[in-house]
């Protein structure tokens, strides 16, 4: 798994690539939490994420909780079928702010 960070006015975008599992989710968690400290809005691009398991979901939940605690915004976009299925199975589709495209995520 790899991440890359981009800046937009008032927003940090983190592009995630690869598989998010037990081995890689700690790194993602750290990247997202570090980015969230420095921005009022964090947008996570999951277009190139092939796979996510419960540890990856847990990392996203943790970042969401931190965003809520600090009154910041977390938006996910680009979820493929695999990621959507995992969110549905874990009943989490409603707690995240999810958009189809980057443009929509930046307007959220």
Partner 1 sequence: MTIGVVMSCNKENAPELLPAQGASGPLKFQMRMASDPRLLAVVRSTAAELAAVWGFKDEQCRGIALAIDEALSNVIRHAYKNRCDQEIELHCQAHADCLEFIFVDRGESADPAKFCGQPLDEVALGGRGTHLIRQIMDEVCYERLPGRNRLCLKKFLPGARRKV
Applying CB under 8 A, the site for partner 1 has a residue count of: 23
Which stretch in 8-16, 35-43, 46-54, 98-106 sits in contact with partner 1 by CB under 8 A? 46-54
Kindly identify the residues of this chain, within the stretch 4-43, that bind partner 1 according to CB under 8 A.
19, 21-23
The least distance separating partner 1 from the CB of residue 80, rounded to whole angstroms, comes to 11
Contact between 48 and partner 1 (CB under 8 A)? no
Give which of 59, 52, 45, 46 is closest to 89, Cα–Cα.
Answer: 52
Q: Which is nearer to partner 1, 31 or 102 (CB)?
A: 31
How many other CB atoms sit within 10 Å of the CB of residue 49? 23
Which stretch in 4-12, 31-39, 91-99, 100-108 sits in contact with partner 1 by CB under 8 A? 91-99
Those residues with Cβ within 8 angstroms of residue 20's Cβ, 6 or more apart along the chain or in another chain = 1, 28, 49, 51, 52, 53, 55, 56, 59
What is the spatial distance between Cα 81 and Cα 24, in angstroms, rounded to a whole number? 20
| Number of residues written out for the chain | 108
Give which of 57, 100, 60 is closest to 77, Cα–Cα.
Answer: 100
Residues of this chain that interact with partner 1 (CB under 8 A) are 19, 21-23, 51, 53-55, 57-58, 61-62, 64-65, 81-82, 85-86, 89-92, 95
């Amino acid at each position: 798994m790899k991440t890359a960070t981009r800046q937009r006015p008032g927003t940090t975008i983190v592009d995630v690539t690869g598989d998010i599992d037990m081995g890689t989710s700690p790194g993602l968690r750290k990247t997202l939490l570090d980015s969230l400290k420095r921005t009022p809005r964090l947008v996570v691009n999951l277009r190139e994420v092939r796979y996510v398991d419960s540890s990856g979901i847990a990392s996203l939940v943790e970042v969401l909780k931190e965003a809520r605690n600090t009154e910041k915004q977390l938006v996910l976009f680009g979820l493929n079928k695999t990621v959507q299925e995992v969110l549905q199975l874990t009943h989490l589709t409603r707690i995240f702010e999810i958009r189809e495209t980057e443009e929509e995520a930046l307007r959220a």
